Every structure is written in structure tokens, then in C-alpha cells.
């Protein structure tokens, strides 16, 4: 799925596999997902692969974008996950017609050799936010919570 940012920026996010595909007993660890990102940003272009998100993180993102697309106040204006390498920040009001969202990339998903924060800004209306939610849902359907 692709997050389309302003000024031709984008983040393509794809789930590659479970980090531990054969793990049965550990409910938390068996839900780690290896993700691949391809970034086109004002800071440069790069690609990274890392077990950075859990199935639960995808579920939180889906709910967050669902709420925003329906002008429902989200529980949090920022989503910071267990591994804080893919972060989402709502930078204006959830009631605004166009929501301004900053996706920040850190740790293993940050551009190599780049110290300051790396991010892509997204400005999206409710229809576009609903599409993001559907795309996330489709991506997660390939690797559901176990």
C-alpha cells in the first residue's frame, strides 16, 4: 500500500512475512511482521526492511484512519508503536476537512546515515483516509493476527 504525501513524497509499505512464521506458543512474538518500506521524500529516497510492526499495530492504524475518515475523534493524536520506527502524528484537528498527518520513520526504517528525523507529510480528505484504511486492511489480511 502507498501513503501519498505532499510534494510527490510517498511511503510504500508492504508486509513481507511474520518475523517468526513457525512460532506457535508466544502470542506477542508470533505477531511481529517484517515490513518493507520504499520512501520518496524531501530527505532523499531509500528502502528498508525490518520487523518493525505487529499485527496489533496495523489494527490500531486501521482504527485510527477509520476514525479520522469519519470525523470521529481518535483516542490519540499520535500513534507510537512497540518498536517506535513508524510513527503517525495528526498535526491538525480531526474535524478539519483535510487532515494533516506526519509519518515519521526512525531506527531501522530511517534513511541510513541521516541523523535528523525523517518524515513524509500527508494531507488527505476523508475519502482518501478511508482508502488508506482499506489498503491497510487488505495488507493485513495477508498476515492476520495469530
pLDDT at 113 over 90: no
1-56 confidence digits (pLDDT tens): 999 999 999 999 999 999 998 887 888 899 999 999 999 999 899 999 999 999 99
Angle, vertex CA 94, rays to CA 90 and CA 96, nearest 5: 110
pLDDT of residue 115: 67
**In CATH, what number does 2-141 get?**
2.30.31
Q: How many CB atoms lie within 10 A of CB 65?
A: 26
Amino acid at each position: 500500500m502507498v501513503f501519498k504525501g505532499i510534494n510527490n513524497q510517498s511511503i510504500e509499505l508492504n508486509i513481507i512475512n511474520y518475523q517468526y512464521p513457525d512460532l506457535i506458543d508466544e502470542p506477542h512474538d508470533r505477531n511481529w511482521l517484517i515490513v518493507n518500506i520504499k520512501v520518496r521524500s524531501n530527505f532523499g529516497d531509500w528502502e528498508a526492511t525490518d520487523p518493525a510492526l505487529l499485527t496489533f499495530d496495523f489494527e490500531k492504524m486501521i482504527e485510527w484512519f477509520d476514525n479520522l475518515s469519519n470525523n470521529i475523534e481518535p483516542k490519540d493524536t499520535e500513534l507510537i508503536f512497540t518498536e517506535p520506527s513508524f510513527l503517525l502524528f495528526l498535526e491538525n484537528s480531526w474535524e478539519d476537512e483535510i487532515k494533516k498527518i506526519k509519518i515519521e520513520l526512525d531506527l531501522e526504517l530511517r534513511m541510513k546515515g541521516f541523523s535528523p528525523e525523517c518524515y513524509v507529510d500527508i494531507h488527505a480528505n476523508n475519502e482518501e483516509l478511508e482508502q488508506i484504511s482499506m489498503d491497510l486492511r487488505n495488507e493485513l489480511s495477508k498476515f492476520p493476527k495469530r
